[in-house]
Amino acid sequence: MIGSGENAQVQPGSETASAPASTLGVVLLNMGGPEALDEVEPFLRNLFADREIIRLGPWPWLQKIIARRIVKKRAPKSREAYRLIGGGSPLARISAEQGRALAARLAGRGDYMVRCAMRYWHPLAAETLAEFAQAGVSRLLALPLYPHYSRATTGSSLNDLKRAAAESGFPFAIEQIEAWPDHPAYIRALATTLAEGATNFAGEEYSVVYSAHSLPVSFIEAGDPYLEHIQRTIAALEKLTGLPGQLCFQSRSGPVRWLEPSTPDMLRQLAANGVVNVLMVPISFVSDHVETLYEIDIQYRELARSLGIRLVRPPALNTHPDLIEALAQLVP
């Protein structure tokens, strides 16, 4: 087990540096996102070309062709979503801010170099590894900014980092953390922001709704621990706050069976039950990006308003001190 976080999980068989090194490179892994509207289409092509998320056809080369066709249809709608949140995703910027905050928190503990690697947009893993290689840092810790493991997020990002390392020609030794769904400092961060969001209701009754990124049911049936990790986060949070909530899932697309209920369906059910105030906690996201800024803040808030519900979202964790403390405790 790596790190002092009691729930850090390390992949069996992780490599260990064969020679001592003064610096540990910490690689914060995240999805990435287009920072300008003309980057939306190539970002989506990278996303849909990833066979660890979805297999489009029996061969990788065919997947790229199918992905291009899908992206051509989806790109206009996606560009509009990014336009409405300021013209691009803030995810790379926020991840870099988290990295700088983590580096500052680690200062004095040892010799660390903290950088980010995005899965589908810049800085890509190969670009980040080149920076480590140039600095002569060969011992790395891969630390996902996804608290909950799924092969579609953490798994794909870790595999991408390892492929890039193997292709780099530099003798990287990579250890990895896979999940931290109920790390105490992470749970404290969620509890603090939940309480902050609840002040908007000024003492009125409200219902807590946990909205997580959805996943095809087939992933869970194949053993993906994502849902169990989400449930662990919620259990730890509710134990700390004493506030019960209901889980639903957002960001679904494509003709497969997804985890249910969907977030829109949950809002409709709550409205039918007479609920008028909803505190929607984006439980699987540690940073603001299109899923929080567009889906929740614009789409779901408009739906809620049409149903007679006031929807409030707590602040995203972003660089919350307790989140940074959780990351620091995961680093050895």
Tens of pLDDT, residues 33-74: 999 999 999 999 999 888 777 766 666 767 778 878 888 999
φ, ψ of residue 246 in degrees (nearest 5):
-120, 140
Is 179 a residue whose pLDDT tops 80? yes
Identify the band that residue 7 occupies on the pLDDT scale cut at 50, 70 and 90.
very low
Does residue 328 fall inside a structural domain? no
Is 18 a residue whose pLDDT tops 60? no
Q: How far apart are CA 322 and CA 12, in angstroms?
A: 28
Q: Compute CA distances 85 → 35, 78, 251, 259, 329, whole Å.
A: 11, 11, 16, 26, 33
Q: If you average pLDDT over residues 82-109, what whole number do you get?
A: 97
Q: If you average pLDDT over residues 133-147, what whole number do you get?
A: 97
Taking all residues of the chain, what is their mean pLDDT, rounded to a whole number?
91
Same domain, residue pair 194 and 307: yes
Q: What is the pLDDT of residue 57?
A: 63
Is 20 a residue whose pLDDT tops 60? no
Is 246 a residue whose pLDDT tops 50? yes
Does residue 330 fall inside a structural domain? no
Alpha helices in 16-124 (DSSP H): 40-48, 60-84, 91-106
Structure token pair of residue 127: 């670009």
Q: If you average pLDDT over residues 236-247, what whole number do you get?
A: 98
Q: How far apart are CA 87 and CA 91, in angstroms?
A: 12
Q: What is the pLDDT of residue 10?
A: 39
Residue count (the chain): 332
Q: What is the pLDDT of residues 269-327, one digit of tens each?
A: 999 999 999 999 999 999 999 999 999 999 999 999 999 999 999 999 999 999 999 99
8 A C-beta contact, residue 211 and residue 282:
yes
Place of tokens 């995240």: 30
Give percent of the chain above pLDDT 90.
84
Does residue 31 fall inside a structural domain? no
Query: Which candidate, 327, 24, 22, 4, places its Cα nearest to that of 173?
Result: 24
Q: If you average pLDDT over residues 159-183, what whole number do you get?
A: 97
CA atoms within 13 A on the CB side of 157: 29
Q: What is the pLDDT of residue 108?
A: 85
Three-state secondary structure call for residue 209: strand
Place of tokens 């990124």: 213
Q: What is the pLDDT of residue 21?
A: 55
8 A C-beta contact, residue 158 and residue 176:
yes
- H or E, element range at 239: helix 226-241
Range of the domain at 277: 184-312
pTM for the model: 0.91
Does residue 48 fall inside a structural domain? yes
Q: What is the pLDDT of residues 191-234, one digit of tens each?
A: 999 999 999 999 999 999 999 999 999 999 999 999 999 999 99
Q: What is the pLDDT of residues 250-261, one digit of tens each?
A: 998 767 899 999
Same domain, residue pair 75 and 194: no
Q: What is the CATH number of the domain that holds 253?
A: 3.40.50.1400
Is 148 marked as binding a ligand? no
Q: What is the pLDDT of residue 19?
A: 31
Strand partners for 28 = 116, 143
Q: What is the pLDDT of residue 13?
A: 35
Does residue 217 fall inside a structural domain? yes
Is 102 a residue whose pLDDT tops 60? yes
Does residue 117 fall inside a structural domain? no
CA atoms within 13 A on the CB side of 166: 7
Structural domain count, the chain: 2
Does residue 113 fall inside a structural domain? no
Structure token pair of residue 24: 């540990």
Q: What is the pLDDT of residue 22?
A: 83
Does residue 154 fall inside a structural domain? no
Compute the chain's Rg from CA coordinates: 20
Is the pLDDT higher at 125 or at 8?
125
Task: Identify the burial level of 134 via C-beta atoms within 10 angstroms of its C-beta, where 0-12 means exposed, 13-18 middle and 19 or more buried.
Answer: exposed
Q: Tell how many helices (H) and how many strands (E) occur in the chain.
A: 12, 9
Q: What is the pLDDT of residue 256?
A: 84
Strand partners for 27 = 115, 142
Is 291 marked as binding a ligand? yes
